[in-house]
Amino acid sequence: MTTPESAVYPPSEDIVKNAHVDAAKYDARYAQSLEDPDKFWAEQAERITWIKPFSKVKNVSYDFGNVDIKWFEDGTLNVAANCIDRHLDTRAEQTAIIWEPDDPNEAAKHISYKELHLKTCRMANILESMGVRKGDRVVIYLPMIPEAAYAMLACARIGAIHSIVFAGFSPDALSARVNGCDAKVLITADEAPRGGRKTPLKSNADAALLHCKESVKCLVVKRTGGQTTWVDGRDYDYNEMALEANDYNKPAEMNAEDPLFILYTSGSTGQPKGVVHTTGGYLTYAALTHEVTFDYHDGDIYWCTADVGWVTGHSYIVYGPLANGATTLMFEGVPTYPDAGRFWAVCEKHKVNQFYTAPTAIRALMGQGPEFVEKYDLSDLKVLGTVGEPINPEAWNWYNDVVGKGKCPIVDTWWQTETGGHLMTPLPGAHATKPGSAMKPFFGIEPVVLDPQSGAEIEGNDVEGVLCIKSSWPGQMRTVWGDHERFEKTYFSDYKGYYFTGDGCRRDADGDYWITGRVDDVINVSGHRMGTAEVESALVAHAAVAEAAVVGYPHEIKGQGIYCYVTLMNDREPSDELVKELRQWVRTEIGPIASPDVIQWAPGLPKTRSGKIMRRILRKIAENDFGSLGDTSTLADPSVVDDLIANRTAKG
């Protein structure tokens, strides 16, 4: 196998000189982190303020049947106190959160650490007055407004476990998550403004709560003042209560291994699973990676464009930056509203130094032309980041040349909801970058490339296989909420003794890593993970659908699009109306992010004689790649393939 020719971009001397970590420091610390992980992580954990110090650094078993991951297990701390209170002596007046609203004509807000403390304490007291106690679950379904951060930190303060549901999810998806963790309270807002439109969050919440226990209470934040239905006794008015709430709330003493949050994410089978992260290890890892990966220095203005509904928003808008006493920007809107220059307008307006976004946004903006970037003064930018999916070299080069003017290192950060923080990324002052490569493991991370069949480690360079991680790191997920067996089965059963990432990967001739995409039935649509099984089960829940198979296919902007093969019930006829109806159906069942791009009618699906759908073939057809269908001899009825090819929908 040969490595494709690739340009290499070393960091400028200026960047290297000022960086927290240069090449020599990276090499030394990386080596130390593997040689003596206990010593390395004990030192790193000093960045956290512990109530009671830990005596044991790590206690980990990856043995299938007995997977158990603990870090700093006898230490105690409070995450909110680490993100707020401990900064008050030196940073009370410093801006913690810059909030930029959807509408550029509405004023931005600058929330100081002092104000963050006040608002978080009040929210914590409100939650307590609603009966929330340590260990209880709170679901957060909010727009990108400061109250989302207050809510997260308020939960952390009282020891409640939050589960954020992205505001783009449907009522059905929301009720499943409220019920999945048996939440006591759902926090929402009247409406979520985005791109000049408004999502009726409270009515979605009302619809969801019809399918939840009657005891679930709803705390409603006023964002637009839009009209909402009010259920007395169930609904609580946040803005009213905040006027009365006490200004101080004592942070609860939490164990390092107490859960901090649950975050649902898609896998290759079944419904989304609740990934559980705990306090001490997660915060240590989020804070360290935030500082080192973005080379964050005191006084910098840092902006991650993700939504707090995804893990990137958890670790790199809220927990990591605030634990570091940073100024973090929170943006309510979308990249293309009011026009394709919005990101750059916001960078200029707030003098952003580190900017972190997703390849899908870069591709969408790239298509609009460089004029939208060139209008703005981006001279404060120092580091650019990407996350969520592999970045194609064309998008990388545009980001580098047009946005970064060739002066800002690009950190292509590979990680997952499960990993809590970055596992592989170049560091700005330490590594040359290559367009599309996640380059190097972070401190303490031991990536291995395995042969997918034998599971044996493939040594050396210029090799490809499945990506696993040897040994643990503090930010690793601990379990699947309510289903530890599923946790073990998903991540520790295929390749014994390793954490299996679900991604494929290549280690090039220089030993640098390239993520090649998922090797399971997870697709990545605009950087959002989607299980094909979830879309299939939504489709077959429709009365007209007998059977459905869903695969990903290459999509110019989204990275991957959703391609659905649908077999109708005998008494139903295909029609354009039915395509529209099914598309709307999936949006209602899951949310707009799961909206099918292509629906192809399939009188039959290619199956083995044992009835297993051969997705490999469906993927090839969706990709318009008919020449390499491979062996179809094991099919029960090979003629279905000819039909699918003949009728492949001319889209995508």
**Residues 421-450 within binding reach of ligand 6R9 (CB under 6 A):** 438
Site string for ligand 6R9, 188-207 (x = CB under 6 A): --------------------
Q: Tokens 């009966």 belong to which residue?
A: 131
| Torsion on CA atoms 273, 454, 630, 517, rounded to nearest 10 | 40
**Residue 357 found at the interface with ligand 6R9 (CB under 6 A):** no
Q: Judging by DSSP bridges, how do beta strands 499-507 and 463-470 pair with one another?
A: antiparallel
Burial class (CB in 10 A: 0-12, 13-18, 19+), 138: buried
Q: Could you tell me how far CA 77 lies from the centroid of its own chain?
A: 25
Name the CA radius of gyration of the chain, rounded: 24
Token pair for 471: 């040994």
**Residue 307 found at the interface with ligand 6R9 (CB under 6 A):** no
**Residue 550 found at the interface with ligand 6R9 (CB under 6 A):** no
Token pair for 524: 């990545």
CB-closest chain residue to ligand 6R9: 417
Looking at residue 439, the DSSP 8-state letter turns out to be B
Helix/strand/coil for 375 = coil
Applying CB under 6 A, among 54, 238, 414, 500 the residue interacting with ligand 6R9 is 414
Rounded least distance, CB 416 to ligand 6R9, Å: 4
**Residue 529 found at the interface with ligand 6R9 (CB under 6 A):** yes
**Residue 520 found at the interface with ligand 6R9 (CB under 6 A):** no
Looking at beta carbons only, is 530 or 578 nearer to ligand 6R9?
A: 530
Is residue 194 part of an annotated ligand binding site?
yes
Find out whether 266 and 141 touch, Cβ atoms under 8 Å: no
Choose one: 31-39, 253-261, 308-316, 625-633; the region binding ligand 6R9 (CB under 6 A): 308-316
Rounded least distance, CB 546 to ligand 6R9, Å: 31
Q: Tokens 């989302």 belong to which residue?
A: 148
Residue closest to 26 by CA, chosen among 443, 404, 461 = 443
544 phi/psi in degrees, rounded to 5: -85, -15
Choose one: 113-121, 364-372, 407-415, 589-597; the region binding ligand 6R9 (CB under 6 A): 407-415
Exposed e or buried b for every residue in 386-424, given b needs 16+ CB within 10 A? bbbbbbbeebbbbbbebbbeeebbbbbbbbbbbbbbbbb
Residue closest to 104 by CA, chosen among 393, 334, 443 = 334
**Residue 76 found at the interface with ligand 6R9 (CB under 6 A):** no
**Residue 78 found at the interface with ligand 6R9 (CB under 6 A):** no
Is residue 473 part of an annotated ligand binding site?
no
Q: Tokens 């005191």 belong to which residue?
A: 298
Amino acid letter for position 521:
D
Looking at beta carbons only, is 216 or 384 nearer to ligand 6R9?
A: 384
- Cα gap 330→311, rounded to integer Å: 15
- Cα gap 362→39, rounded to integer Å: 40
**Taking the CB of residue 280, how many other CB atoms lie within 10 A of it?**
28
Residue closest to 292 by CA, chosen among 325, 324, 327 = 324
Choose one: 126-134, 383-391, 394-402, 533-541; the region binding ligand 6R9 (CB under 6 A): 383-391
Is residue 388 part of an annotated ligand binding site?
yes
Contacts of 391 (CB under 8 A, 6+ apart): 359, 362, 399, 412, 435, 436
Looking at beta carbons only, is 95 or 524 nearer to ligand 6R9?
A: 524
**Residue 562 found at the interface with ligand 6R9 (CB under 6 A):** no
How many residues make contact with ligand 6R9 (CB under 6 A)? 22
Applying CB under 6 A, among 286, 445, 515, 549 the residue interacting with ligand 6R9 is 515
Applying CB under 6 A, among 518, 542, 583, 620 the residue interacting with ligand 6R9 is 518
**Residue 389 found at the interface with ligand 6R9 (CB under 6 A):** yes
Is residue 168 part of an annotated ligand binding site?
no
Rounded least distance, CB 387 to ligand 6R9, Å: 5
Token pair for 56: 């044991």
Looking at beta carbons only, is 350 or 507 nearer to ligand 6R9?
A: 507
Applying CB under 6 A, among 416, 537, 588, 595 the residue interacting with ligand 6R9 is 416
Rounded least distance, CB 528 to ligand 6R9, Å: 7
- Cα gap 303→385, rounded to integer Å: 10
Applying CB under 6 A, among 193, 388, 429, 591 the residue interacting with ligand 6R9 is 388
Rounded least distance, CB 275 to ligand 6R9, Å: 8
Rounded least distance, CB 638 to ligand 6R9, Å: 32
Is residue 312 part of an annotated ligand binding site?
yes
**Residues 486-505 within binding reach of ligand 6R9 (CB under 6 A):** 501-503
- Cα gap 163→146, rounded to integer Å: 17
Looking at beta carbons only, is 402 or 530 nearer to ligand 6R9?
A: 530
- Cα gap 257→614, rounded to integer Å: 42
Rounded least distance, CB 431 to ligand 6R9, Å: 14
Residues comprising the binding site for ATP?
A: 388-390, 412-417, 503, 518, 529
Residues at the site binding ligand 6R9, with contacts judged by CB under 6 A? 265, 310-312, 387-390, 412-417, 438, 501-503, 515, 518, 524, 529
